Amino acid sequence: MSAEKRISAMNENTKETGVGDVTRERDSITHVTETYDSSKIHVLKGLEAVRKRPGMYIGTTGIEGLHHLVYEVIDNSIDEAVAGYCDTIRVRIESGNVVTVEDNGRGIPTDIHPTEKVSALQVALCDLHAGGKFGDGGYKVSGGLHGVGVSVVNALSDWLEATVYRGGKIYRQTYRIGIPEAAVAVVGTTDPSRTGTTIKFHPDAKKDEGDTQHVMETDKFDFNTLCERFRELAFLNKGVTIYATDDRGEMPVEKTFHFEGGIKDFVSYLDSNNKVLPEGTEPIYAFGERSNAGGTAQVEFSLQYTDRYDERIYSFANNINTREGGKHLIGFTTGLVAAVRSQLEKSEKYKKDKKTAEFITTDDFKEGFNSDVREGLSAVISVKLPEPQFEGQTKMKLGSSYIQGIVQSFVYEKLNDYFDEYPSYIEALLDKSINSARARVAAKHAREKERKKNEGGSLPGKLADCSEKDPALREIFIVEGDSAGGSAKQGRDRRTQAILSLWGKMLNVEKTREDKVAGNDKLQPVIASIGAGIGPTFNIDKVRYHKVIIMADADVDGSHIRTLLLTFFFRYMRPLIEAGYVYFAMPPLYKLTIKNREYYAYDDAEREKILADNNLKDDDKNYKMQRYKGLGEMNPEQLWETTMDPERRLITRVRLSDAVEADNVFSMLMGENVEPRREFIEENAVYANVDA
């Protein structure tokens, strides 16, 4: 294992053991004895407020906030595209984590601002709430942080350079932590037809944990996470091309995002590894502009059904991914369900079958009809409105009330028209929804049966729980096999570490419904131990452990166990991954005994380094080496020392950097469709590291 990974593991442990220090520091803050008078009232000028309270503007100074800086810059370019003035955007990450975003829009104006008496470029980059997004400015709809986007990026960068191509001239201004180094200057000429803006910046990242002069916790961008956003923007703005390049490695990584079909292509992309229902159909698509007493909005949606058992709905407002939904999403789902219900009510087919006719009148059927209609649904709903109201500065939820009615009536109208025109489609959808309802009712009965069996709060018999009550300090090891589980139980810290042993063949949840998952004898102990439910009822606040560590053998079977469990967590407990609670244990591959001293190596590179440090080679006979094939080969003391001791172990946190791509990979590798999986294996077999 590399030194960097060891340091990362040590840093994590340091943070955990430092919780008490944080508490004591917090206590001292409550005891203030200084005089509170007018001298204590501070006026933050310019961009000083952003540096003082960055979380108010980008949510966090961690990795999410770091990526938010890039999103704010590219959102300005997308606003130019929405206005009809830009069709090409280039994003490059250079060595040293310097980011450049270039577009071919109109270019930020550079003439003297009528009231501020400096260049409009400087106003846009240095003043909060300045830009063409207010009043009768340059945009009817826009994303960004209500006009504070680029200025916030400027404030949180140790340096930023803005270059504008406009009117045959090239203008440039540079800044240090948001402060101009000089006035906007003309630095060259260009073809008058060339227009656009280029923003180049480096985040103002801390040098170490004790650094209070700088703001961002890191400057290391995750290229895949950024590309997820670039892909979304290209889908949402058909005709726009986004070129993304990562120049930080030995070889540049380049990706291009361009989709002429827009969100219809988005839905097709989501379902590329799934069986479409009805077979051979294209995604349903509709676009229109509607108004009501509250205002006007453009509404665009596309949907398709597959043989999956979950739903995937992505909602956007002014190109912003509203991950927590909002009024537009409520309008979409309400309109969809109402349209399907109206088709069911006027269908004669289901009235003729006595059992079905009786079933669809029961309370069990009615109470879950909404979720039944959405089973297997892949959909994208995108709205554009002049003055959106978001809940929270980072815009995860759309709060504009009037949009709900507009979207609901639009979706209801368009879907009913489609269903009337294609009766075979709605018949297949109603069949699927009724079958889903039957499975849901069966799952409900299975859960009730399991709940009665576990009345009194009893936990699974295979679980050896810990005594600590605080979930943040508790961790559970899900261990493959009774032998390894026995060693883990003996070697653990009983105060904070719980052990759950698994046995037999795990269920591949990608190929089955929730009722089969909830009642599965291999997964039920996992569900009960974590204690937060599954699927739509999963509640992250009820999770009993904030570290769920999968500990499996370092062989093909162990990899299979990890993959099956990860598939289960992704499909039925995704917030567990999103919260950063899922980990892989990293047991050593080798034990080396050199001159009566034991060393553990976590990969071949570390094994070779240990040998080199002791002036030994692979073919020397002056040392002994054991290759661990399974966790059961270690005694409790060895398992504790190498894999479980928080002070010495290495664990890998599972991060979800690109949810859409991860979804496709799970569908491809774990689903029913064989051909995409075969192609993937053939293309990637060269990278496999298989023990002889």
Tokens of 556: 């093909």
Amino acid identity for residue 197 in this structure: T
Distance CA 610, CA 553 (A): 23
Catalytic residues: 480, 553, 555, 557
What are φ and ψ of residue 405, in 5° steps? -65, -40
- Please choose, from the candidates 27, 8, 19, 14, the residue with its C-alpha nearest in 3D space to the C-alpha of residue 468: 19
Tokens of 467: 């005594």
Which residues are registered as beta bridge partners of 382?
300, 316
Q: Which 3 state secondary structure label does DSSP give 364?
A: helix
Which residues are registered as beta bridge partners of 186?
171
Distance CA 628, CA 401 (A): 60
C-beta of residue 401 within 8 angstroms of C-beta of residue 383: no
Distance CA 86, CA 196 (A): 8
Distance CA 322, CA 319 (A): 9
Distance CA 58, CA 97 (A): 19
C-beta of residue 164 within 8 angstroms of C-beta of residue 107: yes
C-beta of residue 273 within 8 angstroms of C-beta of residue 308: no
C-beta of residue 478 within 8 angstroms of C-beta of residue 463: no
What are φ and ψ of residue 642, in 5° steps? -95, -30
- Please choose, from the candidates 69, 92, 232, the residue with its C-alpha nearest in 3D space to the C-alpha of residue 659: 232
Distance CA 59, CA 81 (A): 26
User: How many of the other CB atoms lie within 10 Å of CB of 449?
Assistant: 12
- Please choose, from the candidates 445, 436, 570, 460, the residue with its C-alpha nearest in 3D space to the C-alpha of residue 508: 570
Give the up-direction half-sphere exposure of residue 128: CA atoms within 13 A in the CB hemisphere: 15
C-beta of residue 146 within 8 angstroms of C-beta of residue 129: yes
Where does 206-311 show beta strands of DSSP type E?
241-246, 253-257, 276-277, 284-292, 295-306
DSSP tag of 313: E
Which residues are registered as beta bridge partners of 289?
298
